Amino acid sequence: MAIITRLDRMLADRKMKLNDLAKKTGVSNVNLSKLKTGNVKAVRFSTLEAICKTLNCQPGDILEYVADEEEA
């Protein structure tokens, strides 16, 4: 099972930089960077809510499930 983060794509679509998102959401730049690169084990709902509110998107626009080849 793989969860892919699409935060980089959403930021590009909105023409927004990670630093700007950090300022607008109150989420640290480090945490957003980890989420952007997929180096996280968990995401707080409050963080996800702040990101979605700021980017005017749905959680599914940021997170995507991709089945492993073995499962497919």
Q: Looking at residue 13, which CATH number applies to its domain?
A: 1.10.260.40
Q: Is residue 13 a part of any domain in this protein?
A: yes
- For residue 72, is it within any domain? no
Whether residue 27 is contained in a domain is answered as yes
Looking at beta carbons, which pairs linking 66-69 to residues 24 or more positions away fall under 8 Å? 66/2, 66/3, 66/4, 67/1, 67/2, 68/1, 68/2
**Domain count for the chain:** 1
pLDDT tens digits, 17-52: 999 999 999 999 999 999 999 999 999 999 999 999
pLDDT digits over 5-17, tens only?
A: 999 999 999 999 9
Give domain status of residue 43, yes or no. Answer: yes
60 lies in a domain?
yes
Residue 71 lies in a domain: no
